[in-house]
Chains A and B, each alone.
Chain A
Amino acid sequence: MSTGVLLYCSNTPTYDYHRITERCVELIKKNLKLEITIVTDAETFKKFKPLGMINYKLIEPELGNKRNGEQWNQLERAYAYDHSPYDTTILMDCDYFCYTDNLLTYTNIDNDFLIHDKIHDLTGKDVYNFRKDSIIPMLWATVIVFKKTHRAKRIFDMVKYIKQHYQYFCDLYRISFRNFRNDYAFSIAINQVNGNTQQIFLPGKIPTLPALAKILEVKDTGIVFEYDDKINEIENQDVHLISKEIFNV
């Protein structure tokens, strides 16, 4: 049984996602010690520095999605089931930095599709309360652990279908965010596939640094960040970074 990490990376005019991915890969190699597959486009691929043993899968990125007026790709995750060469896959955003091996725990269990339903705002501001923005709770597609089973395939097939008819599903579920969001696409897919019943989630919360936190330093063991004129640091804790300006320097 093979286990590996699947990352999607595609540069936009605003952000050099390949730089974020390079850092993410270093941490995966150090802490998870798993095989890595990067799904990327040819232009982004040329910019990667040599990263050692990595599988690359080149695709033509789908364009058209925007967030706050800026190009925002992230449209290919629906195909993760087809893109993954592994029996058990940790599908994660390239801005999720693994400073621990905690994710390995979730690869040793019998559930075939696990996703986070809770988030921990590291600034203490609790800015991620989207409960009123849809009639179903939003799940966090930042990290998904799945196995190659019929049920997992059904969920990904459903995500593809939702992607094609996203505006309809936005209306159906009264989702305020009108641009395509994987978080909602997976939330809806799971809701549909499970017949509106509760899904099993990843225990724990995703530690997240929201955009209001400016990242000052990305260290080998943690992140130094600033918010409200205060400097803070986290160490040996996985973190999802929303602010990406530091990687453009």
Chain B
Amino acid sequence: MTVGELKQKADLSYDISVAKKNALERSESRQIIAHNEHLFKADAQTICLVKTLSEHKETFFVLDTNNNPCEIKEPAEFLNKLIERNQETLNAYSQIHETFKRR
């Protein structure tokens, strides 16, 4: 491998890394949802927490992104909302990720 080829490879890796960071940031921004006047992040942790709590109780409290308590009165509806937004963002991220592979 020549120095020129090495630089080209390194540049490409760097570009992909920056593009990946930007795409992830975009997904994370999109994962913020409002529910009962509180903000939540539709990430794996929130989904697992809501799913687990909903299996044990009909209503329960969770902390929002600012650590304020929020009572969840309709767990099924909230869980659906979280999963829908989570998958929407990851689907968009996956499409961008495919373009990285082709580069």
Question: Interface on A for B, CB 8 Å cutoff?
Answer: 100, 102, 105-106, 108-111, 120, 122-124, 200-201, 203-205, 207, 230, 232, 234, 236-238
Q: Kindly state the separation between the CA atoms of A102 and B25 in the bound complex, as whole angstroms.
A: 13
Residue of B nearest to A101 (CB): B30
Chain A residues within 8 Å of B15, by CB: 230, 232
Q: Does B38 contact A (CB under 8 A)?
A: yes
Chain B residues within 8 Å of A204, by CB: 28-29, 32
Q: How far is the CB of A110 from chain B (nearest CB, A)?
A: 4
Q: How far is the CB of A225 from chain B (nearest CB, A)?
A: 11
Chain A residues within 8 Å of B30, by CB: 100, 102
* CB atoms of B18 and A124 under 8 A apart: yes
User: If A100-B30, A105-B32, A123-B18 touch, does A203 touch B65 (CB 8 Å cutoff)?
Assistant: yes
Q: Kindly state the separation between the CA atoms of A247 and B18 in the bound complex, as whole angstroms.
A: 26
* 26 A-B pairs whose Cβ atoms sit less than 8 Å apart in the complex: A100-B30, A102-B29, A102-B30, A102-B32, A105-B33, A105-B34, A106-B34, A108-B37, A109-B34, A110-B38, A111-B66, A123-B18, A124-B17, A124-B21, A200-B66, A203-B39, A203-B65, A204-B28, A204-B32, A207-B22, A207-B25, A232-B18, A234-B26, A236-B92, A237-B22, A237-B26
B interface majority secondary structure: helix
* CB atoms of B29 and A234 under 8 A apart: no
Residue of A nearest to B17 (CB): A124
Question: Interface on B for A, CB 8 Å cutoff?
Answer: 11, 14-15, 17-19, 21-22, 25-26, 28-30, 32-34, 37-39, 41, 65-66, 92
Q: Sorted from nearest, which 5 A-B pairs have the closest CB atoms? A: A124-B18, A108-B34, A110-B37, A237-B26, A204-B29
* CB atoms of B34 and A236 under 8 A apart: no
Chain B residues within 8 Å of A123, by CB: 18
Q: Kindly state the separation between the CA atoms of A205 and B17 in the bound complex, as whole angstroms.
A: 18
Max chain A Cβ within 10 angstroms of own Cβ: one of B17, B21, B29, B30: B29
Chain A residues within 8 Å of B26, by CB: 207, 234, 236-237
Q: How far is the CB of B71 from chain A (nearest CB, A)?
A: 13
Chain B residues within 8 Å of A236, by CB: 26, 92
Q: How far is the CB of B49 from chain A (nearest CB, A)?
A: 17
Q: How far is the CB of B79 from chain A (nearest CB, A)?
A: 18
* CB atoms of A122 and B22 under 8 A apart: yes
Chain A residues within 8 Å of B17, by CB: 124
* CB atoms of B29 and A237 under 8 A apart: yes
Chain A residues within 8 Å of B19, by CB: 232
Residue of A nearest to B38 (CB): A109
Q: How far is the CB of A236 from chain B (nearest CB, A)?
A: 7
Q: How far is the CB of A213 from chain B (nearest CB, A)?
A: 11
* CB atoms of A120 and B25 under 8 A apart: yes
Chain B residues within 8 Å of A122, by CB: 18, 22
Contact pick for A109, options B11, B39, B92, CB 8 Å: B39
Chain B residues within 8 Å of A205, by CB: 25, 29
